[in-house]
Amino acid sequence: MTSNSRVVVLGAGLAGVRLARRLGELGVPALLVGDEEHRPYNRVLLAEVLAGRYSPDVIALPAPAGLVRAKVTGIDRDRRVLACADGSEIAYGTLVLATGSNPVLPPLRGLFTPDHVLPEGVHAFRTMDDCLGLSKAVRPGVRAVVIGGGLLGVSAARALAVRGAQVVLAQQAERLMERQLDPNASRLVLRHLKDLGVEVHTECRVRDVRCLGGAVRSVEMADGYALDADLVVLACGVSPRAGLAKAAGIAVHKGILVDDRLCTSDPHIRAVGDCAQHDGTVYGLAAPALEQADALAASLAGDPDSRYTGTRALTRLTLAGNSAFDLAAFGETEPRPGDDVVQLADATRGTYRKVVVRDDRLVGGVLVGELGTVGALARAWEGAEPLPSDGGPLLHLLTNDGGT
């Protein structure tokens, strides 16, 4: 294959690996380029590695044959060449950007050292390196502060608590996982963390991180209160890794703008996964990244009709271990005036199920502790088909385990 017809996939994460593998199956070999030292892995399962439940090998992805380890530092669109940090160049015919996300660092003075490295003891939670660094530092009794109470912060706090750390979680919003969950489900997550010994502070803004000799010593709250800390985890969200595209003059808004064929503003460059923005949405979730990779593989293999038209993404969190805890949320979990709500709660067992129906359509739901019905509900939601008018089957969807 000449370099001019070669497909190069930049980023060996979930989307890039899936795309390269699918292309291989469809007879379009691609060169996969990634900068992480480890074998490609399933990022979604990093918290399980941190919790000590899985070894890094268990979450490795089947890597395609053509994997090159390199950090790409620039795209020369005129010559269709990638520049690498080691001075080498990689020519492409079609380039796919699958560069993922960067962790968002909160604007705290103490984080910004002159040499742009995080102080000792402060960790992001995005990569296998972050995970192994944290894993090495955590010991029973270590004082850990997790900043951020979204999906990432909750997973990290739980994993550290399972490893015996004394964990404090500082959440700026008034409740945990407020983007995905309604207040009742948030309360169950809070209870689960508290049962594990995690101290949770909501409506709590962190003002600074204090260091001594380059290592973190405490975290200071907006009200002046200081928490002693040996370890700090930054779980303050992610932003699309779109810097290379932007520097090359490709259209970027929040993420790299793509159309239904996952084409960027340059016809020779496509984008998939966390770095891409499709129809106004940057998903930041695994399922859309994989769906985009599948649609693009079909398109690059010659299917003129392959389109990506969006994903109705379900958020699922499994906190496994002695006290397993499962939750799933999709769509709108808070009703608008006029919506119908069906809700079942069992405080003793810590289960909670709720669906929101607008007109005759399922628009959202949340399940905690009891996920037996999640597949049927997700299908009803994804299909967006009208629900039967008597409401009976809807209750059945929620209770097909007998409603216990």
Ligand X SMILES: Cc1cc2nc3c(=O)[nH]c(=O)nc-3n(C[C@H](O)[C@H](O)[C@H](O)COP(=O)(O)OP(=O)(O)OC[C@H]3O[C@@H](n4cnc5c(N)ncnc54)[C@H](O)[C@@H]3O)c2cc1C
Judged by the rule CB under 6 A, the positions of this chain that interact with ligand X are 10-16, 33-36, 43-44, 46-47, 71-72, 98-101, 125-126, 152, 155, 241, 244, 273-274, 284-287, 289, 317
Closest CA to 6 of 304, 273, 23: 23
| Min separation Cβ 365 and ligand X, Å | 17
Angle at 176 between CA 174 and CA 180, to 5 degrees: 110
Query: What is d(CA 324, CA 125) in angstroms, rounded to the nearest whole number?
Result: 22
Tokens matching residue 167: 């964990």
The owner of tokens 């958020």 is 315
Nearer to ligand X, 125 or 330 (CB): 125
Nearer to ligand X, 211 or 314 (CB): 314
Query: What is d(CA 315, CA 308) in angstroms, rounded to the nearest whole number?
Result: 20
Nearer to ligand X, 118 or 387 (CB): 118
Nearer to ligand X, 28 or 285 (CB): 285
Give strand ranges (E) for 30-117: 30-34, 67-69, 72-76, 81-84, 89-91, 94-97, 101-103
Nearer to ligand X, 46 or 145 (CB): 46
| Min separation Cβ 196 and ligand X, Å | 18
| Min separation Cβ 124 and ligand X, Å | 9
| Min separation Cβ 28 and ligand X, Å | 19
Query: What is d(CA 47, CA 285) in angstroms, rounded to the nearest whole number?
Result: 15
| Min separation Cβ 198 and ligand X, Å | 17
| Min separation Cβ 156 and ligand X, Å | 7
Query: What is d(CA 57, CA 144) in angstroms, rounded to the nearest whole number?
Result: 26
Residue number with the shortest CB distance to ligand X? 13
Nearer to ligand X, 85 or 226 (CB): 85
DSSP bridge pairs for 240: 101
Nearer to ligand X, 110 or 148 (CB): 148
Closest CA to 319 of 186, 123, 155: 155
What are the b/e assignments for 149-167, b being 16+ CB within 10 Å? Answer: bbbbbbbbbbbbbbbebbb
| Min separation Cβ 142 and ligand X, Å | 19
Nearer to ligand X, 171 or 218 (CB): 171
| Min separation Cβ 110 and ligand X, Å | 23
DSSP 3-14: GGG-EEEE--SH
- Answer for the pair 131, 272: CB distance below 8 angstroms, yes or no: no
| Dihedral angle sign, alpha carbons of residues 118, 121, 127, 133 | positive
Tokens matching residue 151: 């999906």
